Amino acid sequence: MDVYVVVSETTPPPSPRPLSEQTEPNACAGCGKTGVPLSLRKTAEALPFCSEECNEAQYERSAAALDVASVRRHAASLAEHGYTVVQVYGERDVAEVRRTFEHTLFSHMPEYNKDPATGRVPVAPGERHPLLVRGGFGALGNPSSFHAPIMRRMRRDAHAVAVPIFRMLANVVDRTDRSDRWLEQLMDRARVLTPGASITAESWHRDRTPATKINKAMGAEVVQEDDLIYGGWLALDGPQRFSGVRGSHKEPRNDGDKRGFAPLSAEEKAKYGALRDQAGDDWYVQIPAGHMLIFQQEMIHEVVGGKYGSHLPPSYRLFTGWRLTRSTHSMIGVSARAINRFFDWQEVPSIKSDQHPPMYPDMPWSSTTASRTGLARWSATTFQPCLLQERVVSSGPAAGETHRLVPKEFYSLYECALKLAAQAAIQRLLDKYEEITSIPKDDIDLSQLIDDQEDQAEYDILAALVSHPPDQVLPEYRVLGPDRTFEGVITPEDLAPYMMPAYGLHDRAILMPRPLFGRRK
């Protein structure tokens, strides 16, 4: 059997210029020169560089990190086999990134409760380890897991490696007209597998990006017919494994514009399962720690289910996505307002399949009362109280049964931060009235006790915020008042402890379509 050999570079490429070295948020992402006009962030096509030369130099630095022969091998493998594996981090760097990744997820995401004794997410009743998300896939859907600084760093480092490979690939797949190919990195989820986790299998399928649905929703031709879209992940331990059918991305298909993924027939599934079993371990693509898998989403692949060893340490990865396109529109949004809001509010993205990442699967909710009770216990232990909401069983024998759960889907970190800041402000009011009345604050009902008109007005706003469902968008007119406060009650300083840092221009730019071969004339 022809087995593809992983190509690993001995020296991982340098990261783009660290944002900490930029003296102003509007500094050039290439040379650090300040004074780049803020108008550059108004459109998807604009680049956060002080000149075209600086933009090209940034790409050249990325390309120089991999020798030409290695870049050719990776691009040729993507074109011929549908996948490649490339090194992003060396051994020392991946250990440091893994530590930061783990510390961020378990100790620094504001949506989660923290155990006072450990500073980490607590363990829910009946579990052996903290669970950040429910379900056998382990991919997170909370806002800060997308926007934390370590995720941005990993995307920057992955981008620096991917650019020269996709440049070379465009030369292969667009021999006659590759000058207007643009590259967009697609934001995707972080994944955690805890020891003993049961991994949910996904049978043989091709991934799908439903162009018709996305373009209709966005009101523009965002996803084009000849777009080439790639998935994969950056592994922080390993080797991790990928099961796919080499070269199947080139096969003709007629399964329509389906959302999420297109399953195969029973005969095809049996055929590829037999080939996998016959090949044994040689079938699987190995992704060592610090390496990134890139695969064409039309490649037939599966997720192999099973039990993750209880004796093993947690396993971590960051899913990645890439789009070679001729469209200048981002899959984040078409208008400058939508794009700015995505980054400023730190919204949860729809992934390339146009699916919104969930916090738990349907099965625990639709199963039994005991299963729903377990979901509620996990929610109460794991998440901040103000982020929970009531969910009612709508039909069946248990119709009317109510549980307080984390929302199945979050919308943005900004709205979570408003609720968390409101919760903290209510605690300050409770402290104030405990001191005034000598009544223990656990026994205080502010709605009955407040006698000050200003305190009452403030409390009414705070209570409404806390009770607002976290999976529903706040009325936009209420959000940013002319005095930069939320209805005069919550200020940006109140929100700061619950938000991730503001995006720098380079971190925004790599998530926008950018020309691979210079600017379009």
> 39 pLDDT band (50/70/90 cuts)?
very low
* Higher local confidence (pLDDT), 185 or 438: 185
Average pLDDT estimate for 88-109:
95
- List the beta bridge partners of residue 286: 241
Domain extents in the chain = 19-31+51-108+148-346+506-515, 368-405, 413-498
Indicate the SS3 state at residue 302: strand
Spatial separation of the C-alpha atoms in residues 86 and 291, rounded to whole Å: 5
| Half-sphere exposure in the Cβ direction for 167 (13 Å, CA) | 21
> CA 311: distance to chain centroid?
28
Identify the top-confidence range among 299-308, 347-356, 371-380.
371-380
Lowest mean pLDDT among 35-49, 55-69, 413-427: 35-49
Residue 199 carries which side chain, given as an amino acid letter? Answer: I
Using alpha carbons, select from 509, 507, 472, 232 the residue that is nearest to residue 352.
232
Contacts of 229 (CB under 8 A, 6+ apart): 186, 207, 209, 296, 297, 321, 322, 323, 324, 352
**Placement of tokens 């979901």 in the chain:** 375
Q: Determine the pLDDT at residue 237.
A: 95
Q: Determine the pLDDT at residue 483.
A: 54
Indicate the SS3 state at residue 104: helix
Spatial separation of the C-alpha atoms in residues 259 and 54, rounded to whole Å: 39
Pull the structure tokens for residue 165.
């490979």
Question: Using one digit for the tens of pLDDT, what is the confidence trace for 47-64?
Answer: 455 555 565 555 444 444
* Higher local confidence (pLDDT), 447 or 429: 429
pLDDT at 436 over 90: no
pLDDT at 98 over 60: yes
Spatial separation of the C-alpha atoms in residues 149 and 283, rounded to whole Å: 36
Share of the chain above pLDDT 90, in %: 50
pLDDT at 360 over 80: yes
pLDDT at 471 over 90: no
> 486 pLDDT band (50/70/90 cuts)?
confident
Using alpha carbons, select from 187, 65, 89 the residue that is nearest to residue 503.
187
Pull the structure tokens for residue 352.
């390339």
Average pLDDT estimate for 189-200:
91
Give the class (CATH, top level) of 19-31+51-108+148-346+506-515: mainly beta
Q: Determine the pLDDT at residue 484.
A: 59
Average pLDDT estimate for 104-114:
97
Average pLDDT estimate for 409-427:
92
> CA 31: distance to chain centroid?
28
Q: Determine the pLDDT at residue 310.
A: 84
Cβ contact 272:322 at 8 Å? no
* Higher local confidence (pLDDT), 166 or 367: 166
Indicate the SS3 state at residue 455: helix
Spatial separation of the C-alpha atoms in residues 240 and 293, rounded to whole Å: 10
Q: Determine the pLDDT at residue 183.
A: 94
Question: Using one digit for the tens of pLDDT, what is the confidence trace for 313-345?
Answer: 999 999 999 999 999 999 999 999 899 989 999
pLDDT at 452 over 90: no
Residue 431 carries which side chain, given as an amino acid letter? Answer: D
Neighbours of 438 (CB within 10 A): 7
Using alpha carbons, select from 304, 232, 244 the residue that is nearest to residue 272.
244
